[in-house]
Amino acid sequence: ISAGFEHGGNVLHRHLDGHSQLLVYPFESQLGNRTFNDFLASIERVQYRYPEFPEGLEAGELYEQIIDEEMKTFLRKRNGSKFKDTDLQLDEADRIAEFTRILGTGPYGRARVIEAFFRSTFSAWRNYYTNATDEMTHVGYSPAIGLDAERIVRDFPQIRLIHLVRNPFSAYRDTKRRPFPQSLSRYLITWNIYHSTVEMFAKLYPNNIRVVRYEDMVEGKQSFMSDIALFIGIEFEPAMLYPSWNAKEISASIAPWGTVLKSTKEYNEEIITELNDAERNQIAHGTAAISRHFGFDKISYLKPYYSAQ
């Protein structure tokens, strides 16, 4: 799963949790490492990108290369993790041992390392609600990883990458909950870059990549999630209609998994009123072209903001 920040990637991630055919990573799967650097490096933090690995590294060194900040913080300094109260029973030594076993002997290509990263997590996860099998599909979520969609498809020709785009008014309001939010101008620039880039890749790799609107998910979950299941290649199950953790429904706020607190149409619309007039005006001007492409100007509660553009 890919998305911009506060675009509902965490919401979709939690809605896929509990599906009998899926192995859903517990937190953000931050695959990036500090070795990778390209012309987009200033756009997003490296942990949210797709990695490159130096040659000649051993299994343990490759494991450390992957930043995986949310999981490793939880495992190594639980009191410092926002997930400290989460019932996840996993010993990092077991995970490293499984990673080494699954990786096998070198040389190690990137695809093998990424596969071992996901498989070892579920091999070592002691209280995962079901047994992992080879027929199940692994699900990860990293907000900006769609920028690297072409490299991911190269490694995994059968990958299914779902990218969420959410209206920039609601998305920006939610990002203001962060202790260090981006400035509005920077947020709008990255909003345009994320979605136009992944839309380009979706046209180049239509069998692998699909761009979907968060608004469609919260306005009609049954039809939306049925389409998602078809794209992934799994059966639709009722568990896809609500957020959950380790197959247990999350009935209140989705935090700490993300700052989009509720997966409802009402929440998505109401929080726009918490922006001031200057913010709403700048967002409308700064996103008009891409928003019209995705049809946000046709949604009733967004239409007035774009009608004058």
Give the C-alpha separation, 100 to 112, whole Å.
11
Can you give the pLDDT at residue 309? 63
253: pLDDT strictly greater than 90: no
Structure tokens at 214: 């968060």
* pLDDT above 70 for 9: yes
3-state secondary structure 278-295: HHHHHHHHHHHHHHHHCC
Residues ≥6 apart with Cβ < 8 Å to 45 = 32, 144
pLDDT exceeds 90 at position 205: yes
Q: Is the pLDDT of residue 305 over 70?
A: yes
| pLDDT value of residue 168 | 96
Write down the pLDDT at residue 307: 87
DSSP string, 11-38: HHHHHHTT-TTEEE-SS------TT---
**What is the residue-averaged pLDDT of the chain?**
94
The predicted-structure confidence for 25-71, as pLDDT tens digits, reads as follows 999 999 999 999 999 999 989 999 999 999 999 999 999 999 999 99
pLDDT at 227 over 70: yes
Q: If pLDDT is split at 50, 70 and 90, which confidence band does 116 have?
A: very high
pLDDT for res 182: 86
Q: Give per-residue pLDDT as tens, 63-94.
A: 999 999 999 999 999 999 999 999 999 999 99
pLDDT band at 179 (very low <50, low <70, confident <90, very high): confident
CB atoms within 10 A of CB 207: 11
Q: Give which of 35, 57, 23 is closest to 133, Cα–Cα.
A: 23
HEC sequence for 93-159: HHHHHHHHHHHCCCCCCHHHHHHHHHHHHHHHCCCCCCCCCCCCEEECCCCCHHHHHHHHHHHCCCC
Structure-model confidence comparison of residues 254 and 18, the more confident one: 18
The confidence score (pLDDT) of residue 72 equals: 98
Using the predicted structure, report yes or no on whether residue 269 has a pLDDT greater than 70.
Answer: yes
- The confidence band for 5, taking pLDDT boundaries of 50, 70 and 90, is confident
- Residue in this structure with the two tokens 């942990």, named with its chain if needed: 47
Question: What residues form DSSP beta bridges with 138?
Answer: 23
**Is the confidence at residue 261, as pLDDT, over 80?**
no
φ/ψ (deg, to 5) at 3? -175, 165
What does the pLDDT look like over 94-115, one tens digit per residue?
999 999 999 999 889 999 999 9
- Average pLDDT on 278-289 reads 96
Q: Which residue has the higher pLDDT, 307 or 252?
A: 307
pLDDT at 262: 74
The pLDDT assigned to 170 comes to: 94
